[in-house]
Structure 1
Amino acid sequence: MTVEVAAPRGGPERVRAGIVILPDQRWSAAAGRWRRAEEYGFAHAWTYDHLGWRDLVDGPWFDAVPTLSAAAGVTSRIRLGTMVASPNFRHPAHFAREVTALDDICGGRLTIGVGGGGVAGFDNTVLGGEALAPRERVDRFTEFLEVLDPLLRGEPVTYRGRYYTAVDARGTPGCVQAPRVPLVLAALGPRSMRLVARFGAGWVTTVGRMESLEDWWRAAAGSVARFEDVVSAAGRDPSTVDRYVSLDSAPVYSLSSAGYYAEAVGRAAACGFTDVLSHWPRASSWYAGDEAVLEEVAGGVLPTLGG
């Protein structure tokens, strides 16, 4: 089955497939997943950036940066990244150093997904802070990017904002990739979408939680249309921005069957997305599924994508 469709609004005819591997296993077990992600033919592989996540906070959980460093050592071609890095507990000056090191370690295969930080949850409270209002989260997100962007380009930064301060921070030697590591920004509303127009190589959305699958796909198509309108109004050509969607925010898990996965990829392409994200099947709880389906997708669907 070849997943090629006529896409509206100048969207892509083919999509790249990515896999998200939760950092919930010791490396002795997790390393095999990252190797297989590359062997299966995924275009990119990601991990969550949280201090703890939902009801998995009491189970095994490992940091994104060393996880990606280790993943770089067991892969050679696949792009690697955070989906998404969180300002809830990261400072952009320190994170820039981590990103620069990661890009060097993986030989320029790094993409950094970054968002405004979750509205609620463990990351908001574990360091003694309080959850910010939506407008404040976007304000903080703006400051985070205004410090991170020049540092990743190798430029020194002095910055004093409401949320972040940097005094003669250094970005040397800069990233392997020029002018810097690409940033994929999570955005649902127009203010965050304008940040994508300003800083992003890509945009990622979860669309939102809905009970009806058909409602979710209609919302997905609408989100692409709104994104293109906002980016165009900001003076940037939307076709220069990659568009990622997390298929698993829909009411049906994307890897419930190979047939459904192929259908979901085709529908994402028809909406105008360039990239799709699925989660590695887990034994239970979130993203519970069968790795046999993943193998079937790798053998029968991924080779048709052309990404």
Structure 2
Amino acid sequence: MLGAAAAAPPRTLTIMRIGIVILPDQRWSDARQRWRQADAWGFDHAWTYDHLGWRDLVDGPWFDSMTTLTAAATVTSRIRLGTLVASPNFRHPAAFVRQITAVDDVSDGRLLLGLGAGGIGFDALVLGGEELPPRQRVDRFAEFTELLDLILRTDGTTWKGEWFAAVDARNNPGCVQRPRVPFLVAANGPRSMRLAARFGEGWVTTGTVFDDLESWWSSVAELSTRMDAALASAGRDPDTLDRHLLLDAAPVFSLANADFFAEQVARAARLGFTDVITHWPRTESWYAGDEAVLVDVATRLLPELRG
């Protein structure tokens, strides 16, 4: 368990970007307007979960992330679009590269690629495999990230590891964004943080699970300090890594009310985070909330919070 931690070393805060997750749990005839609205409101990035099924929402409806992002790209014009997060649970880098380059092309270079080690549960079992223990999941994640980076940068990659292999894997014509789409690496542990320091243009954390808000924020501060250490060990300037905090991993929904949301954004900024991410409120279950709060935040507070 993480103990109380001092605040992370101060970093120069030049921006605060705000993103929103739109779960792929609605038919496109209903979901379309949410993506358009997020773009019109001025959110910096919009995300969807990359799962074949997620927790008790596996009973549906549930739709594919990359197809959803492709559709979202056609009804938006400026907002960045991303996976939160893609994992090796059901993806192979050689095949995934083709989807990545397609979405990056359709969106004219607006794709952000969130990557994670993959958890347990439905995604880990639906293809007939077994749930892996944490160390093996990180071993696999390291190979997944390295090979994905290599294929996206190099057309005609041949590579072999313990978990993945590729023979003359192609990326042509490559990404619109050069040399490749930005990686946002999800990491709470030391080995995944080293991956973020090596491959990530961004880092995303959920903090550590706690039942009370102050303990959760203490865990976020400690993880931010650990990320600084990983960057220092890699010889990397900490200001070259964007830092994303998933606010709704806290025990209180970030859109409980507009003032609370503003407070949480301010706390993240004080810890050196450049980006925060909330969720579009749902009517029940996960991220249950009032859409009126989202409208208030987006129309009244968003310009101020981003300024």
**Pairwise TM-score range, normalised by the shorter structure:** over 0.9
SS of the residue aligned with 1:228?
helix
Equivalent residue, structure 2, for 1:98? 99
* AA in 2 matched with 1:253: F
RMSD of Structure 2 on Structure 1 (CA): 1.3
Matches within 5 A, 1:228-247: 228-247=228-247
Instruction: Return the alpha-carbon distance in structure 2 between the equivalents of residues 219 and 273 of structure 1.
Output: 14
Preserved CA contact (<8 Å) 1:8 1:270: no
Percent identity reads 63
Equivalent residue, structure 2, for 1:143? 143
1:221 aligns with 2:221: yes
Instruction: Return the alpha-carbon distance in structure 1 between the equivalents of residues 215 and 121 of structure 2.
Output: 26
Unaligned runs of 5+ in 2: 1-6
SS of the residue aligned with 1:278?
strand
Equivalent residue, structure 2, for 1:167? 167
1:261 aligns with 2:261: yes
SS of the residue aligned with 1:93?
helix
Equivalent residue, structure 1, for 2:118? 117
Instruction: Return the alpha-carbon distance in structure 1 between the equivalents of residues 227 and 260 of structure 2.
Output: 26
Equivalent residue, structure 1, for 2:44? 43
SS of the residue aligned with 1:51?
coil
- Structure 1 residue 306 displacement after superposition: 3.1
Equivalent residue, structure 1, for 2:4? none
Instruction: Return the alpha-carbon distance in structure 1 between the equivalents of residues 243 and 128 of structure 2.
Output: 35
SS of the residue aligned with 1:57?
helix
Matches within 5 A, 1:31-110: 31-110=32-111
Equivalent residue, structure 2, for 1:3? none
Equivalent residue, structure 2, for 1:21? 22
Instruction: Return the alpha-carbon distance in structure 2 between the equivalents of residues 86 and 60 of structure 1.
Output: 21
Equivalent residue, structure 2, for 1:192? 192
- Structure 1 residue 305 displacement after superposition: 2.5
- Structure 1 residue 7 displacement after superposition: 8.7
- Structure 1 residue 191 displacement after superposition: 0.7
Instruction: Return the alpha-carbon distance in structure 1 between the equivalents of residues 9 and 224 of structure 2.
Output: 10
* AA in 1 matched with 2:175: C
* AA in 1 matched with 2:53: G
Check 1:23–1:85 CA distance in 2 against 1; reply closer, same or farther (3 A cut). Answer: same
1:279 aligns with 2:279: yes
After superposing on structure 2, the runs of 4+ consecutive aligned residues of structure 1 that deviate more than 4 Å are: none
Preserved CA contact (<8 Å) 1:154 1:175: no
- Structure 1 residue 150 displacement after superposition: 1.9
Preserved CA contact (<8 Å) 1:103 1:177: yes
- Structure 1 residue 261 displacement after superposition: 0.3
Preserved CA contact (<8 Å) 1:147 1:159: yes
- Structure 1 residue 188 displacement after superposition: 0.6
Instruction: Return the alpha-carbon distance in structure 2 between the equivalents of residues 138 and 181 of structure 1.
Output: 22
Preserved CA contact (<8 Å) 2:8 2:221: no
Instruction: Return the alpha-carbon distance in structure 2 between the equivalents of residues 306 and 22 of structure 1.
Output: 23
| Cα offsets for 1:183-219 (capped at 9, x unmatched) | 0000011111111111100000001210110111111
SS of the residue aligned with 2:118?
coil
Check 1:306–1:7 CA distance in 2 against 1; reply closer, same or farther (3 A cut). Answer: farther
| Cα offsets for 1:147-194 (capped at 9, x unmatched) | 111221243211111111111111111100011100000001111111
- Structure 1 residue 295 displacement after superposition: 0.4
Preserved CA contact (<8 Å) 1:183 1:202: yes
Preserved CA contact (<8 Å) 1:150 1:156: no
